[in-house]
Amino acid sequence: MDVSVSMTVNGVEHSHAVEPRTLLVHYLRDTLGLTGTNIGCDTSQCGACTVHIDGDAAKSCTVLAVQADGCAVTTIEGIGNGSLHPMQQAFWDEHGLQCGYCTPGMIMASIDLLNRNADPSRAEIRHGLEGNICRCTGYQNIVNAVASAAKEMAGADA
Amino acid sequence: MSKRFIGQSVKRFEDPRFIKGQGRYVANIDMPGMTYMAILRSPYAHAKINNIDTSAAEAMDGVVGVLTGQDLVDGGCGPLPCGWNVPDIKVPTRLAMTTDKARHVGDSIAAVVAETPYIAADALEAIVVDYEILDASVNARNTTEDSAVQIHDDVPNNISYTWALGDQDGTKAALEAADHVIELDLINQRLIPNAMEPRAAVAQWDATRGDMTLWTTSQNPHPIRLLLSAFTLGIPEHKLRVISPDVGGGFGSKIFHYPEEIIVPFAARAFNRPVKWVATRSESFMTDSQGRDHVTNCKLGVNNDGTFTSLYVSTWSDQGAYISTFAPLIPTAFYICLLSGLYKIPNIWGEMWGTLTNTVPVDAYRGAGRPEASYLVERLVNEAARQLNMDAIEIRRKNFIAEDEFPYQTPVALAYDSGNYSGLFDKLESLSGYSDLKTMQAEARANGKLIGIGVCGCIEASGPAPSKVAGALGSAVGFWESSKMRVHPSGKVSLYTGSHSHGQGHETAFAQIVADELGIPMADVEIIHGDTGEIPFGMGTYGSRSASVGGSAIVKSAEKVRAKMMKIAAHQLEAAEEDMVFDRDEGGVYVKGSPDKRLSFFELSLGAYTAHNLPDDMEPGMEETSFYDPANFTYPNSAHIAVVEIDANTGEVDLQGYYAVDDVGNVINPMLVEGQIVGGIAQGIGQALYENGVYSDDGALLSGSFMDYAMPKAMHFPAIHVDRQETPSPHNPLGVKGAGEMGTIASTVATANAVMDALAPLGIGHLEMPLTASKIHSAIAAHAGQL
């Protein structure tokens, strides 16, 4: 039997009746049509599906939609306010992506990383992204992008 | 030639959609009436199928229908063909869904189509299969023994084919005459490609027109359409459109024709509904063609002065349960033909057995045969240096093909086009601070630390391939590439390429080529790829071929456009055609010596379409198509050093430094090339230290998820330092060589050599990859026990 779920996604309130077993990532992609959040595995390892729930990064394949009831969810489509978020810009500038599939999750995880530690060392960036797998880049330019975004965002705050 | 964009690190045109979450991946395609497919996979590696009962599944609410292999056979589907037929190969029958036996874990048994993905998954549980479990065979070499279970009735001893090249007697004699013979038994372990986007397919059937559209995660949609039309599905080529939109990584695994590309459109037609199938990662592990898996014995003959005299290689190459599309190419022409490495080795013999086991089929995976060749050659060379007490770079320099010896004919068929290997190693010594590294290592060793410096120098044959050569080697297809250059009346350009980008950045790099060739802004160029409905034909992207073959096809079309524009200009400016100069900086054509007397690119484009004032014998329009067949492979080469420290107490490898100098010829976009090299290096290090596709003796895939298969993470890598040398390829118009695979080919053996070098003072010989902490710790402990 379906259950009702309500949440704010990228600032817009949504209410739907869903199967109780519906994963948050399926709710976002299939019910709301927000296909920017990709699915890369079924064991919560790869991080392609990373979104923010009430401001914290979460793997949306590991959360039931009903668990996000009443929460504020942000996906890749919801950052940047119409222009590019500094993290998106940094991934572009630093060639931090190739096939692009891990990129939305990687960007969401990276923003969360800087929220927790605004001035991370390269080693801290590398460890901070251990929940996100990229097969293309060898991570080097992703690390460069996060470091560059950290600088940019620190400058914007100052 | 003017180069305004080629050679520049132009930022990627494709990135805005990816960083905004607007990628056009197959799984994102939706349409009214969509249904969802789930596929029942065999849980057993080898089992006779006595019965499949789908009745309970079919009766479930929301189930549209269930298909079995027999339904597909009855509906006219044929077996998946092999696209590379070496002499006397026995290609066992491979159906999209098996009807008689399951032959590997993951073999497809039945497909459910339902109104939602969740119902489809539930319905799989309701299918009852009567399996009769059989013994399994999982080892590339042991599977040929009489005691091994027979996997296909028509492939005796599970040997699908054998292949050999070189001078066997001469090599044997040279080995006997050599001062030293270095011998290694090596395993190049099974790898699982794991592109981050799982495979997916969507099919839409237009019943009234009889048109099928298939969206599939392929690196080469045209060959997939051809195979579907001619062999497996039977919908004629002109009624079948195959689209591969944004594809989230391939690394070879998305070259091949897969069963789902048959089952999904078959179901769309059978049920007259659009059908979507998206693999779970678990399905990817057990159905994407896997990589490597060689068991090898190899011997290098070396004289006292370090000169190589001979190389003898015997390999058992595990092909898995079926022969995948290009599987026989990989351990033959892409492996044995590469055994000469960067060296003059007068006598070479390579022989291999392509064997079948109850495992997932094996085919090309980034590097594809060439990493396996480099691994054994460069392991042998390092072992020779160690035994002869020579420096690892010194022994290589002694044997290099010299810069003035190109083109160089190896004893294993290939003729290398160009190179400067000693220059490459000069750069590597400088980039890595090699002499300082050696000093540091000596001091650290004196303090009891296990520091290793791993050197390698590797060759690749990339840019497949001259079609005649490919045909002679067994290919069922040609390996040219096409481009169609459509200059619109307003002077904007749509370029349709048969290459396919799944991360490479063609939309940027190819636009750089077009803009330079035509003297127009990059913003005036759009690159279109991945759609058989738009592109004449294309062989796709693999084997590091897109720049050298696909890029050259673009140059050829541009030459035709320029020639036509110069004819129009000569006619309209009333000057001799030979006095026309095409302006590659500003676009347009002017009269030699009178740059003011000119027609702009826009004027010439528009003029071609108004056709008011064209030469009498000229057709209107400005659209040119070219098919470029390469004259040779290109031969990228590389010199890499990995530096490791091993913790003697835990066996853990700390990769402390990585230095790479690659020669990929001329470079179109340095940022993209560096991205390819660094990404490739990381992937190769994954093989050396972490990744391992493991099957139990009964054929269960033990490394069947990211929990069990160690994908490299950001924290596993140090900064990777790269430099390059540019020795242009002499036989393609851009002077480029392949850039996509060199990093992977070199980094596996560089890292393995570093670990072996670190362990050498302990007297530990060869260890097999992946070089995990537990394996190294056991070796250290065992060695200590012997003392």
CATH at residue A110 = 1.10.150.120
- Residues of chain B contacting residue A33, judged by C-beta atoms under 8 Å apart: 30
How far off is chain A from B288, nearest CA to CA, in Å? 14
pLDDT for position A158: 52
What's the ipTM?
0.98
Q: Is residue B41 predicted with pLDDT exceeding 50?
A: yes
**CATH number of the domain that residue A20 is part of:** 3.10.20.30
- Residues of chain B contacting residue A141, judged by C-beta atoms under 8 Å apart: 675, 678
Contact status, residue B313 vs residue B104, Cβ threshold 8 Å: no
Task: Give me the numbers of helices (H) and strands (E) for chain A, helices first please.
Answer: 5, 5
A46 lies within 8 A of chain B by CB = yes
Pairwise CA distance, residues B62 & B121, whole Å = 11
Are A71 and A36 in the same domain?
yes
Laid out side by side, the sheet with B63-68 consists of B63-68, B108-114, B35-41, B275-278, B200-206, B211-216, B240-243
> What Å distances lie between residue B692 and A139, B705, B711, B770, CA to CA?
21, 11, 9, 7
- Residues of chain B contacting residue A92, judged by C-beta atoms under 8 Å apart: 11-12, 15-16, 19
pLDDT for position A157: 61
Burial bucket for residue A139 (CB in 10 Å: 0-12, 13-18, 19+): buried
How far off is chain A from B63, nearest CA to CA, in Å? 17
Burial bucket for residue B55 (CB in 10 Å: 0-12, 13-18, 19+): exposed
Are A28 and A91 in the same domain?
no
* Helix or strand run (H / E) with residue B294: strand B291-302
pLDDT (tens digit per residue) in B164-174: 999 999 999 99
Pairwise CA distance, residues B100 & B78, whole Å = 15
Chain A residue with the nearest C-alpha to that of B506: A98
Rounded percentage of chain B residues whose pLDDT exceeds 90? 98
pLDDT for position A39: 98
Across the interface, whether the CB atoms of B503 and A34 are under 8 A apart is answered no
* Residue B2 DSSP one-character state: -
How far off is chain A from B417, nearest CA to CA, in Å? 29
- Residues of chain B contacting residue A46, judged by C-beta atoms under 8 Å apart: 196, 281, 706, 711
* Residue A85 DSSP one-character state: -
DSSP bridge partners of A14: A7
pLDDT for position B492: 98
Neighbours of B340 (CB within 10 A): 26
Spell B601-614 as b/e; 16+ CB within 10 A means b: bbbbbbbbeeeeeb
A79 lies within 8 A of chain B by CB = no
Q: Which two tokens stand for residue A148?
A: 């560059």
How far off is chain B from A23, nearest CA to CA, in Å? 11
Of the candidates A78, A113, A143, which is a domain's last residue?
A: A78
B675 lies within 8 A of chain A by CB = yes
Are A91 and A74 in the same domain?
no
Pairwise CA distance, residues A51 & A78, whole Å = 10
Question: Between B506-518 and B552-573, two packed helices, what is the crossing angle to 10 degrees?
Answer: 30
A143 lies within 8 A of chain B by CB = yes
Are A22 and A73 in the same domain?
yes
Are A15 and A74 in the same domain?
yes
Across the interface, whether the CB atoms of B18 and A125 are under 8 A apart is answered no
Chain A residue with the nearest C-alpha to that of B741: A136
| Of B14, B118, B251, Cβ closest to residue A135 | B251
Q: What are phi and psi of B693, to 5 degrees?
A: -85, 110
| Residue entry with tokens 């769309």 | B268
A95 lies within 8 A of chain B by CB = yes
Residues found in chain A:
158
DSSP bridge partners of B455: B641
* Residue A32 DSSP one-character state: S
Across the interface, whether the CB atoms of A133 and B711 are under 8 A apart is answered yes
Are A21 and A41 in the same domain?
yes
Laid out side by side, the sheet with B291-302 consists of B159-166, B347-355, B308-318, B291-302, B180-191
| Of A35, A42, A133, Cβ closest to residue B713 | A133
Are A15 and A66 in the same domain?
yes
Chain B residue with the nearest C-alpha to that of A21: B118
Are A60 and A124 in the same domain?
no
Q: Are β-strands B450-459 and B481-487 bridged in parallel, bridged antiparallel, or unpaired?
A: unpaired
Are A22 and A49 in the same domain?
yes
pLDDT, average across residues B551-557: 98
| Of A92, A101, A107, Cβ closest to residue B25 | A101
Of the candidates A78, A97, A126, which is a domain's last residue?
A: A78
* Residue B178 DSSP one-character state: S
Q: Is residue B787 predicted with pLDDT exceeding 50?
A: no
Q: What are phi and psi of B611, to 5 degrees?
A: 60, 25
Q: Is residue B216 predicted with pLDDT exceeding 90?
A: yes
* Residue A78 DSSP one-character state: G
Domain ranges, residue A66: 3-78
Q: Which residue type is seen at B160?
A: S
A62 lies within 8 A of chain B by CB = no
pLDDT for position B784: 82
| Reported confidence tier of residue A81, pLDDT bands at 50, 70, 90 | confident
Of the candidates A37, A52, A78, which is a domain's last residue?
A: A78
- Residues of chain B contacting residue A107, judged by C-beta atoms under 8 Å apart: 19
Q: Is residue B619 predicted with pLDDT exceeding 60?
A: yes
pLDDT (tens digit per residue) in B749-765: 999 999 999 999 999 98
Helix (H, G, I), strand (E, B) or coil at B609: helix
| Of B21, B27, B715, Cβ closest to residue A104 | B21
Q: Is residue B109 predicted with pLDDT exceeding 50?
A: yes
Q: Is residue A122 predicted with pLDDT exceeding 80?
A: yes
Rounded percentage of chain A residues whose pLDDT exceeds 70? 99
| Residue of B8, B19, B287, B709 to mutate, interface with A, max A Cβ within 10 Å | B19
Are A69 and A95 in the same domain?
no
Are A74 and A92 in the same domain?
no
Count the domains in chain A: 2
pLDDT for position B71: 98
Q: Is the pTM of this model over 0.90?
A: yes
pLDDT for position A155: 84
Across the interface, whether the CB atoms of B197 and A92 are under 8 A apart is answered no
| Reported confidence tier of residue B664, pLDDT bands at 50, 70, 90 | very high
Contact status, residue B711 vs residue A41, Cβ threshold 8 Å: no
Average pLDDT of every residue of chain B = 97
Are A68 and A115 in the same domain?
no
| Reported confidence tier of residue B74, pLDDT bands at 50, 70, 90 | very high
Candidates B209, B248, B249, B212; CA nearest to B228 is: B212
pLDDT (tens digit per residue) in B250-304: 999 999 999 999 999 999 999 999 999 999 999 999 999 999 999 999 999 999 9
Across the interface, whether the CB atoms of B683 and A98 are under 8 A apart is answered no
pLDDT, average across residues B398-408: 97
- Residues of chain A contacting residue B28, judged by C-beta atoms under 8 Å apart: 29, 35
pLDDT (tens digit per residue) in B436-472: 999 999 999 999 999 999 999 999 999 998 999 999 9
pLDDT (tens digit per residue) in B124-143: 999 999 999 999 999 999 99
Across the interface, whether the CB atoms of A76 and B20 are under 8 A apart is answered yes
